[in-house]
Structures are given as C-alpha cells and as structure tokens.
Amino acid sequence: MTHKARKRFGQNFLQDSHIIDNILMTANPEHGEHWVEIGPGQGALTAPLLATGVKLDLIELDRDLVSYLSHKFADEEQLTLHSQDALTVDFSQLATNSSRLHIIGNLPYNISTPILFHLMKYADHIHSMYFMLQKEVVERICATPGNKRYGRLTIMLQYYCQAEPLFDVPPESFDPQPKVMSAIFKLTPHQKAPVDITNLKHLNQVVTQAFSQRRKTLRNSLKKSFTEAEIYALDINPELRAEAISLTEFARLSNAFTLKNP
Ligand code: SAM
C-alpha cells in the first residue's frame, strides 16, 4: 500500500516482525475472546490478531486507512471495522455480552493521555489492555512513589488499573521513525478499587495541586486546601513532597477535602 503517513493522526507504522511477534506473544489472544484494536493503521497487528480466532473490533480515524482495511480484510467474518475517533467510542456498547473486552493498540502518541482517560470510564467492561506509547509516558504511568516520573497520570491511572511496563521498542521498528523510544505496557483494571474515593474529581484536584510545584512540600503546595495541622491529622508528613505520597495517602487527602467541601 502507498499510504503517506499523516503526522496529525500520529502515524508511525510498525515494520519489525520480531516486535510484532513479541507483542502478540505477550498479549496472548485466545480463540473466542473479544478484542478491540485502537488505530490499526495498515494492519500490522490486525492480521496476526485475526489469525488467533478472536472476535475483533477495529477503530480507525483515518478514512483512507479504513477503506484500505475494509478491502484487505473483506473476508473476515469475525471483524467489525469502525470508522471513528476512539475518543468518541462507547466501549460499554462494544462489550455486548457478559465477557469483558481485551484492548490493544500502538496508540497515536499525540492523543495518548486523552485516550487513556477515556478508556478508564469503561474500566468495568475491560479485562486487559496492551498498548504502545512513548517510553517516557509509559514510565509515568507505571511509576512508583519516589520515582521522578511519579505524578498525576500515575495516580489517576493506577486508581483504575494495575500498570506494568513490558518491553521497549526502538525508533527503527517503525516507518516513519518516531523521535523517541517507545514501550509496550499492560493495564489490568482492578476488580475492586484499591482505595475508596468519595469524589474522584476531588482526587484529581488534590493530586493536580500537589504536583503543580513538584519541588515544594505538601505544606506549601496544598496550602489553599489544607492547613499543616490538617495534613498531620491524616497521618501524612506535610514536609514531604507529592512524589513521596502513595495512592492510599492521596485517597485520605481527597476524602478529607470532600468532607471540607461537600
Ligand atoms: N497499528 C498500526 C501499526 O502499529 O502499524 C498503526 C499505529 S499508528 C502509531 C496510530 C494509528 O492510530 C494510525 O493508524 C492513526 O490513523 C490512528 N488514529 C489516530 N488518531 C486516532 C483516533 N483518535 N481514533 C482512532 N484511531 C486513531
């Protein structure tokens, strides 16, 4: 196919068959499962996915590629092609029967965060997700407290999912080559939320505030919301920086914020 990669759609097509094999081996799709691929592009992951006998929904924004894919996979009965922006897809509608979805994609890097937050709304309908993104973003998603990449993205995604980095993918594996290193990671939605949060908007608000000036202690960064004594009362040291605070501690801050701001 002679498709000129479109930058605005974040198009970097996978060319490396070893990497493609590794992704498939790691994701391990099994006959009869329901998979969704976001941004199938020219079908680098799609063809081996179909070969495993899964039911597959494809979501592709670029109409030229949708047209190409509809011809390429015209005989595949297990396949449904959606010419749509993944950010507008209601994933609960795709999960028609009781079995939860498996989602995979070499995601367009330009909309990586919005796509992940959109998917989190449907976490209850999702069994597992295998994605490729810039390595730096993967490190932020999978970080642990104390790590320099630990931040808002870490906390908000790890509230919904267990996050696991899998392996790196170098620029040479794509055409055109991205400027940065990429990495594959897995998200597994929690069966039960790891912490009780009364108001998720407040968690987001407190976390955003705490990380707005990473170098500052909580006493300073959360000044608008809590006194030093209030932070102490939650059994959190106000002299610590946000990057030292676990999800459980952020949950305590968030729920205390909700009590103060009903
Ligand atoms: N899966 C292919 C591969 O690995 O070679 C293509 C990956 S490329 C990085 C990202 C793909 O996502 C492109 O096909 C692009 O057109 C598509 N895309 C970009 N924005 C999208 C969106 N909002 N919704 C669905 N697909 C999108």
Element (H, E) at 105: strand 101-106
Q: 171-209, pLDDT tens digit by residue?
A: 999 999 999 999 999 999 999 999 999 999 999 999 999
What pLDDT score was predicted for residue 98?
A: 67
Ligand 1 center from residue 68 Cα (angstroms): 13
- Given a cut of 90, whether residue 46 has pLDDT beyond it is yes
Going edge to edge, which strands form the sheet with 34-38? Answer: 79-83, 55-60, 34-38, 101-106, 126-134, 182-189, 161-169
Beta bridge partners of 232: none
Looking at 86-188, list the stretches that DSSP marks H as alpha helix, in order from N- to C-terminal side: 91-94, 112-120, 135-142, 152-160
Q: 122-175, pLDDT tens digit by residue?
A: 999 999 999 999 999 999 999 999 999 999 999 999 999 999 999 999 999 999
The domains located in the chain, with CATH, are 7-189 (3.40.50.150), 200-260 (1.10.8.100)
Q: 227-246, pLDDT tens digit by residue?
A: 999 999 999 999 999 999 99
Ligand 1 center from residue 222 Cα (angstroms): 39
Give the pocket of ligand 1 (CB within 6 Å). 9-14, 38-42, 44-45, 59-62, 65, 85-87, 106, 108, 111
Ligand 1 center from residue 9 Cα (angstroms): 6
Q: What would the mean pLDDT of 62-77 be, rounded to a whole number?
A: 96
144 vs 141: CA distance, rounded Å: 9
What pLDDT score was predicted for residue 176?
A: 94
Best residue among 57, 62, 117 to mutate for probing ligand 1, ranked by most atoms within 8 Å of CB? 62
Element (H, E) at 219: helix 218-221
pTM of the model: 0.95
Best residue among 56, 60, 110 to mutate for probing ligand 1, ranked by most atoms within 8 Å of CB? 60
Q: Which residue's C-alpha comes closest to atom 14 of ligand 1?
A: 41
Q: What would the mean pLDDT of 88-100 be, rounded to a whole number?
A: 88
67 vs 207: CA distance, rounded Å: 43
> For tokens 């391990």, what's the residue?
28
Best residue among 1, 4, 7, 13 to mutate for probing ligand 1, ranked by most atoms within 8 Å of CB? 13
What pLDDT score was predicted for residue 1?
A: 67
- Averaged pLDDT score across all residues of the chain: 95
Q: Which residue's C-alpha comes closest to atom 12 of ligand 1?
A: 39
Q: What would the mean pLDDT of 206-227 be, rounded to a whole number?
A: 95
What pLDDT score was predicted for residue 146?
A: 95
What pLDDT score was predicted for residue 250?
A: 98
Q: Which residue's C-alpha comes closest to atom 19 of ligand 1?
A: 9
- Structure token digits, residue 63: 């109409």
